[in-house]
């Protein structure tokens, strides 16, 4: 959808360029060097989170009165892309921290909750996570089973959560639970749960194909005691909060997908000019050129979709369909582009001596989390067909 | 303590520089400009001193064009308090004239310490720090790797790397120091810093308003730039070892005339 505005411009502002420059340098110097090692060891990038916090990159869209940088969504998209270009794990860690953990609070939380939790999250002093998915509830988030029963000044939570990015390292968790299963979506409510609350348990760390340094955890609540003041919004607001958060989250993952693809493309372009076969560098061969051309063309198209959905969000108009389009296109593009990058590297690309196999594995998950590709298509279909 | 840092905007060190066909300068279209990397160390050191010594004030000063404001904003974003652009949009000035402009402005700022990068990454002249010191009659220490302020800001202890060791120098303030790589690890500008920099007013003075006869100061004139001659491609000898040795000897004797 094109909306009435100032006319089409493809220029980034001076601020955006300055931010891009800073994050790119930071990512090259501080994030990229350890990325391969963290992928192997599955170590969470805790130090990097602190540094990102100091630079304001952990609360990019969070309002300044709660310690955030109060910047626009395009700045945010640029930041997630640049971080992911160096290390996809760091990209998703920052994305969850910025959006999934903080947006529910600054959009729906009470003044007390905002003051209590946002400043430390935005500063990277505390880590946040988001618990929606459960063993029997994935794409169908409305079917979640975790129960919240009110008793006096507390809710008592019981249930299990899966695939919690940042979970291993997080201090604060946004948790979705139902106060009454018979109410369906209307029973779902959102809470802030601290790691130290009685009854909170980390079950285990997930061992995964990609984004291996993202501290992804399984979590259980066993009569976990949560003060009533930690309810976000009203009882029953949870589903709306989850969907609103995921709309913005899709911009994060689309940006991450673009960043991973760009990182893989950079590596492939360089390699194609260095590797010689048949007496020429492989960049001379048209089949190799075609892969490079396809990569960069699709990367640029994906980036424009990301920028456009961010732009619509900043304008305050509906952007759900556009965010889904950006995520669908960017994540499928990223899978293909990283595969091309590996192919251009030949056998070397299949080894851990080059970063492309990591990009290839990391790209895969962008088609799954924060709504699978199929779910994005459902969202787009619903938008164009109604119902 | 009042600190002035002299900075310069230079083409991105990663950029491919092309010389204009007439040799009058470089092709500027599409070039990205950055804060001279050595100046980053100077700015960082100044910010650290400012953080250590209470009620300090940090000025950054440059001679340049309208676009040069970008690097001043970068400096404010990492902690500079005031930024001054001496605007000169005519023919590029020679370094002696640039030093005159800087010195003239510095006089009105009454600094205790002046820092610059050890050289600019574009022309590698390594001229300005020394020239400004000379013009102001301040001591100058170049290529410094450590700065310690002594005796309530009356003196400084400086370390500089020399062949096979380090030199430790004591110098009276005010003085001019030029920063070497290794002096510190420059910080990244934060988003909050960038927002502050955006709001901050940059003082702009026209060069001719500061020194009316500035064009008369030039001591050198850039005649032209020329590309480094391209090296001819190497020769690869082929054939049997006997033939290659014969060819090599003939080549060295007859063509290169080295044996
Ligand atoms: C690395 C990683 C990190 C994650 N981080 C988080 C996190 O921090 N917080 C969190 O809450 N969750 C997180 N998730 C969970 C993620 O969001 C879910 O995995 C995702 O929503 C899909 O749910 P599912 O795995 O249960 O798959 P299912 O929903 O079971 O889907 C299985 C397949 O069926 C398809 N499908 C399902 N329904 C339909 C339909 N109606 N029409 C067509 N096709 C359909 C899906 O597209 C998919 O291909 C993470 C997942 C991973 C892998």
Check pLDDT > 80 for residue B151.
no
List of domains in chain A: 11-122 (1.10.540.10), 128-236 (2.40.110.10), 239-385 (1.20.140.10)
Q: How confident is the model at residue B229 (pLDDT cuts 50, 70, 90)?
A: confident
A28 touches chain B (CB under 8 A): no
Ligand 1 atom at minimum distance from A211 CA:
1
Place of tokens 């602190």: A50
C-alpha to C-alpha distance for A78 and A255, rounded to whole angstroms: 7
- Structure confidence at residue A216 (pLDDT): 98
**B81-136 pLDDT, tens digit each:** 999 999 999 989 999 999 999 999 999 999 999 999 999 999 999 999 999 999 99
Instruction: Chain A: give the shortest CA distance to residue B252, in Å.
Output: 29
The tokens for A369 are 């989390």
Which residues pair with residue A145 across a beta bridge?
none
Residue of A96, A232, A245 lying closest to A168 (CA atoms): A96
Mutate to test the interface with B, among A24, A56, A122 (most CBs of B within 10 A): A56
Measured by CA distance, the residue closest to atom 31 of ligand 1 is A139
Task: Scan residues 256-315 of A and list those with Cβ closer than 8 Å to B.
Answer: none
Closest by Cβ to A19, choosing from B70, B73, B194: B194
**B210-225 pLDDT, tens digit each:** 999 999 999 999 999 9
Contact A252, A260 (CB under 8 A): no
B195 touches chain A (CB under 8 A): yes
Mutate to test the interface with B, among A18, A52, A67 (most CBs of B within 10 A): A18
Closest by Cβ to A56, choosing from B73, B190, B198: B190
Check pLDDT > 70 for residue A82.
yes
C-alpha to C-alpha distance for B108 and B83, rounded to whole angstroms: 14
Check pLDDT > 90 for residue A79.
yes
Q: Which residues are CB-neighbours of A376 under 8 A, at least 6 positions away? A: A250, A324, A325, A327, A328
Residue of A99, A71, A384 lying closest to A252 (CA atoms): A99
**A134-178 pLDDT, tens digit each:** 999 999 999 999 999 999 999 999 999 999 999 999 999 999 999
Check pLDDT > 80 for residue A5.
no
Residues with CB under 6 A from ligand 1: A 96, 130-133, 138-139, 163-165, 208, 211, 216, 365, 368-370, 372, 374-375, 378
Check pLDDT > 90 for residue B75.
yes
**A178-225 pLDDT, tens digit each:** 999 999 999 999 999 999 999 999 999 999 999 999 999 999 999 999
Strands A231-232 and A217-227: unpaired
Residues composing chain B: 259
C-alpha to C-alpha distance for B75 and A307, rounded to whole angstroms: 28
Place of tokens 């340049």: B64
C-alpha A27: how far from its chain's center? 17
Residues of A carrying an active site annotation: 370
Phi, psi angles (nearest 5°) of residue B167? -105, 135
Average pLDDT value for residue range B166-182: 97
3-state helix, strand, coil in chain B (%, to 5): 35, 25, 40
Q: Give me chain A's average pLDDT, please.
A: 97
A15 touches chain B (CB under 8 A): yes
Check pLDDT > 90 for residue A3.
no
C-alpha to C-alpha distance for B236 and A301, rounded to whole angstroms: 46
Ligand 1 atom at minimum distance from A210 CA:
1
Contact A250, A372 (CB under 8 A): no
Q: Where are the domains of chain B?
A: 2-217, 230-259
Q: How confident is the model at residue A2 (pLDDT cuts 50, 70, 90)?
A: low
The three-state DSSP-derived secondary structure of A132-196 is CCECCECCCHHHCCCEEEEECCEEEEEEEEEEECCCCCCCEEEEEEECCHHHHHHHEEEEEEECC
The tokens for A364 are 């895969």
b/e map of B85-94 (b: 16 or more CB within 10 Å)? bbbbeeeebb
Place of tokens 């007013």: B201
Q: What single DSSP character describes residue B233?
A: P
Closest by Cβ to A56, choosing from B74, B191, B198: B191
Instruction: Chain A: give the shortest CA distance to residue B192, in Å.
Output: 6
Q: Which residues are CB-neighbours of B253 under 8 A, at least 6 positions away? A: B259
- With CA atoms as reference, the chain A residue closest to B74 would be A18
Average pLDDT value for residue range A238-245: 97
**B234-257 pLDDT, tens digit each:** 888 889 999 999 999 999 998 888
Q: Percent of chain A scored above 90 by pLDDT?
A: 96
- Structure confidence at residue A244 (pLDDT): 96
C-alpha to C-alpha distance for A357 and A199, rounded to whole angstroms: 40
* Cα distances (Å, whole numbers) of residue A226 to A194, A195, A229, A232, A362: 8, 11, 8, 12, 35
Q: How confident is the model at residue B152 (pLDDT cuts 50, 70, 90)?
A: confident
B84 burial type by CB count under 10 A (0-12 exposed, 13-18 middle, 19+ buried) = buried
- With CA atoms as reference, the chain B residue closest to A63 would be B192
Measured by CA distance, the residue closest to atom 26 of ligand 1 is A138
Instruction: Name every chain A residue with its beta carbon within 8 A of the beta carbon of B194.
Output: 15, 18-19, 22
- Which ipTM was obtained for this model? 0.88
| C-alpha distance across the termini of chain B, in Å | 66
Check pLDDT > 70 for residue A332.
yes
- With CA atoms as reference, the chain B residue closest to A54 would be B190
Q: Give me chain B's average pLDDT, please.
A: 94
Instruction: Name every chain A residue with its beta carbon within 8 A of the beta carbon of B195.
Output: 69
Instruction: Name every chain B residue with its beta carbon within 8 A of the beta carbon of A71.
Output: 191
- Structure confidence at residue A1 (pLDDT): 59
**The model's pTM:** 0.91
The three-state DSSP-derived secondary structure of A321-346 is HHHHHHHHHHHHHHHHHHHHHHHHCH
User: How remote is the CA of residue A138 from the centroid of ligand 1, in Å?
Assistant: 5
Ligand 1 atom at minimum distance from A374 CA:
47
Closest by Cβ to A55, choosing from B70, B191, B195: B191
Check pLDDT > 90 for residue B231.
no
Instruction: Name every chain A residue with its beta carbon within 8 A of the beta carbon of B73.
Output: 18
C-alpha B58: how far from its chain's center? 18
Mutate to test the interface with A, among B70, B191, B193, B194 (most CBs of A within 10 A): B191
Instruction: Name every chain A residue with its beta carbon within 8 A of the beta carbon of B188.
Output: 22, 25-26, 55
C-alpha to C-alpha distance for A85 and A107, rounded to whole angstroms: 29
Contact call for A55 and B194, based on CB within 8 A: no
Residue of A39, A86, A378, A29 lying closest to A213 (CA atoms): A39
Ligand 1 atom at minimum distance from A133 CA:
11
Check pLDDT > 80 for residue A30.
yes
CATH number of B2-217: 3.40.50.620
C-alpha to C-alpha distance for A54 and A211, rounded to whole angstroms: 23
E strand residue ranges, chain B: 2-6, 9-11, 33-35, 57-64, 82-87, 113-117, 140-150, 155-162, 165-172, 175-179, 203-206
Higher pLDDT, A37 or B54: A37
Task: Scan residues 59-98 of A and list those with Cβ closer than 8 Å to B.
Answer: 60, 69, 71, 75
H helices present in chain A, as ranges: 14-26, 35-41, 46-54, 73-86, 88-95, 103-108, 111-122, 238-274, 286-315, 320-344, 346-349, 356-364, 373-385
């Amino acid at each position: 959808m094109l909306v009435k505005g100032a006319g089409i411009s493809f220029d980034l502002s001076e601020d955006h360029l300055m931010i891009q420059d800073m994050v790119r340098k930071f990512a090259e110097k501080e994030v990229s060097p350890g990325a391969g090692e963290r992928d192997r060891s599955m170590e969470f990038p805790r130090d990097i989170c602190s540094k990102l916090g100091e630079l304001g990159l952990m609360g990019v869209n969070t309002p300044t009165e709660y310690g955030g940088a109060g910047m626009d969504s395009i700045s945010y998209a640029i930041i997630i892309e640049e971080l992911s270009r160096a290390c996809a794990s760091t990209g998703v860690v920052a994305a969850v921290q910025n959006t999934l953990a903080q947006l529910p609070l600054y959009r729906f939380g009470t003044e007390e909750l905002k003051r209590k939790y946002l400043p430390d999250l935005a500063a990277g002093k505390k880590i946040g996570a988001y618990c929606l998915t459960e063993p029997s509830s994935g794409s169908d988030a409305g079917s979640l089973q975790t129960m919240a029963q009110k008793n006096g000044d507390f809710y008592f939570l019981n249930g299990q959560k899966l695939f919690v990015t940042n979970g291993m390292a997080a201090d604060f968790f946004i948790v979705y639970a139902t106060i009454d299963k018979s109410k369906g979506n209307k029973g779902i409510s959102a809470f802030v749960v601290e790691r130290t609350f009685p009854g909170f348990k980390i079950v285990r760390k997930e061992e995964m194909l990609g984004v291996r340094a993202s501290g992804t955890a399984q979590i259980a609540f066993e009569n976990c005691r949560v003060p009533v003041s930690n309810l976000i919004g009203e009882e029953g607001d949870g589903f709306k909060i989850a969907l609103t958060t995921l709309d913005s989250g899709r911009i994060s993952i689309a940006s991450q997908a673009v960043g991973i693809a760009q990182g893989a493309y950079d590596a492939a372009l360089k390699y194609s000019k260095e590797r010689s076969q048949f007496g020429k560098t492989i960049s001379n061969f048209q089949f190799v050129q075609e892969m490079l051309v396809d990569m960069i063309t699709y990367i640029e198209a994906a980036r424009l979709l990301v920028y456009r959905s961010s732009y619509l969000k900043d304008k305050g108009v509906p952007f759900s369909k556009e965010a889904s389009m950006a995520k669908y296109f960017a994540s499928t593009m990223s899978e293909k582009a990283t595969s091309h990058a590996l192919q251009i590297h030949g056998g070397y690309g299949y080894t851990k001596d080059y970063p492309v196999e990591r990009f290839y594995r990391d790209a895969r998950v962008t088609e799954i989390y924060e709504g699978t590709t199929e779910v994005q298509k459902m969202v787009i279909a619903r938008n164009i067909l109604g119902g | 303590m009042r600190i002035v840092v002299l900075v310069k905007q230079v083409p991105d060190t990663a950029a491919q520089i092309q010389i204009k066909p007439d040799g009058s300068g470089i092709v500027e279209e599409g070039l990205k400009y950055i804060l001279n990397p050595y100046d980053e160390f100077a700015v960082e050191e100044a910010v650290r001193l400012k953080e250590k010594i209470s009620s300090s004030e940090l000025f950054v000063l440059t001679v340049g064009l309208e676009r040069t404001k970008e690097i001043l904003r970068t400096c404010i974003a990492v902690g500079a308090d005031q930024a001054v652009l001496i605007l000169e949009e005519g023919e590029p000035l020679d370094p002696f004239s640039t030093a005159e402009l800087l010195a003239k402005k510095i006089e009105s700022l009454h600094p205790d310490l002046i820092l610059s990068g050890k050289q600019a990454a574009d022309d590698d002249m390594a001229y300005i720090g020394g020239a400004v010191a000379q013009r102001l009659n301040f001591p100058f220490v170049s290529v410094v790797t450590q700065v310690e302020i002594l005796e309530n800001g009356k003196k400084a202890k400086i370390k500089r790397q020399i062949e096979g060791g380090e030199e430790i120098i004591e110098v009276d303030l005010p003085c001019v120091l030029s920063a070497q790589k290794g002096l510190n690890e420059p910080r990244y500008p934060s988003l909050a810093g960038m927002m502050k920099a955006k709001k901050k007013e940059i003082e702009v003075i026209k060069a001719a308003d500061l020194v009316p006869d500035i064009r008369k100061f030039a001591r050198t004139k850039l005649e032209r730039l020329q590309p480094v001659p391209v090296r001819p491609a190497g020769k690869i000898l082929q054939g049997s070892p006997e033939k290659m040795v014969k060819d090599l000897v003939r080549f060295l004797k007859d063509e290169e005339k080295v044996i």
